[in-house]
Amino acid sequence: MTEIGLFFAFTAGILSFFSPCVFPLLPAYITHLTGGKIENSQVLVDRRTLFTRSSGFIIGFSLIFIVMGASATLLGQVFANYRTIVMQIAGLLIIVFGLQMAGLLNIKFLMMEKRIHSDKKTTGIFSSVFLGMAFASGWSPCVGLALSSILLLASSSDTLYQGMYLLTSYSMGMAVPFLIISFVISYSLKAIKKINKYLSKIAFVNGMIMVGMGFLVLSGQMQKISAWLSAYSLFGI
């Protein structure tokens, strides 16, 4: 399920970045990472420092996610003899997570969260990496639903590398808008205010994408589509 799975994972990463529990906090994360400050509707920060610290932060959360993906795949391979049942359960859970994300369900325990806070500002790229790892480990609930869905997809992967690729794609989906918006708000915070108005709609879209992916996994169509894409890329059919 590599091709279509990577697409879903990357898309989920982008939409996760724009979730209501992450995107509005971006200015706070940037000032914490760089030691900058908010003044005159912009984040005042040295842009070279912004790039290096943000890169470290991205490396940190990517490492955690990739390890999670590898672990999920290994766990799935333990139950390889029950692959069909595992995929059906994963599909059902992804659908539930998607409906919760879209606001069509309200299951309270799915919204429980564990955040890791640090009052100490980062002083270099290595501390930025550790902050990114802490950020990924103490994930907030609405992003955790998307992440859990991709991990469930990874658990049904055929190989360890496929699971790692899925979570790498998810991480890159978060990393690209993180870098872009970080530089945008170093010029003006107006973009944050404008996008905030659409966060609920973005969450709904995110949820519907997860529901669609869940149905594909549940029905077994995910593998058929991936097989067709593989045949097309190899033989041009």
Report the pLDDT value the prediction gives residue 229, as an integer from 0 to 100. Answer: 45
Report the pLDDT value the prediction gives residue 68, as an integer from 0 to 100. Answer: 87
Report the pLDDT value the prediction gives residue 62, as an integer from 0 to 100. Answer: 92
Report the pLDDT value the prediction gives residue 143, as an integer from 0 to 100. Answer: 64
Where in the chain are the domains?
2-235
Does this model's pTM top 0.85?
no
Give long-range contacts, CB 8 A cutoff, 24+ apart: 68-71.
Answer: 68/147, 68/151, 68/154, 68/167, 69/150, 69/151, 69/154, 69/163, 69/164, 69/165, 69/166, 69/167, 69/168, 69/170, 70/160, 70/163, 70/164, 70/167
Mean pLDDT for each consecutive 10-residue tract of the chain (237 residues)?
Answer: 76 84 80 80 82 90 90 81 78 86 74 51 74 75 72 80 89 92 84 82 84 82 55 46
Residue holding tokens 């990114």?
Answer: 132
Measure Cα distances from 187 to 28, 47, 54, 180, 214 in Å.
15, 10, 16, 12, 40
Contact (CB, 8 A) for 62 and 175 = yes
pLDDT tens digit sequence for 139-164: 655 566 778 788 888 887 778 888 88
Sign, Cα dihedral of 116, 103, 100, 16: negative
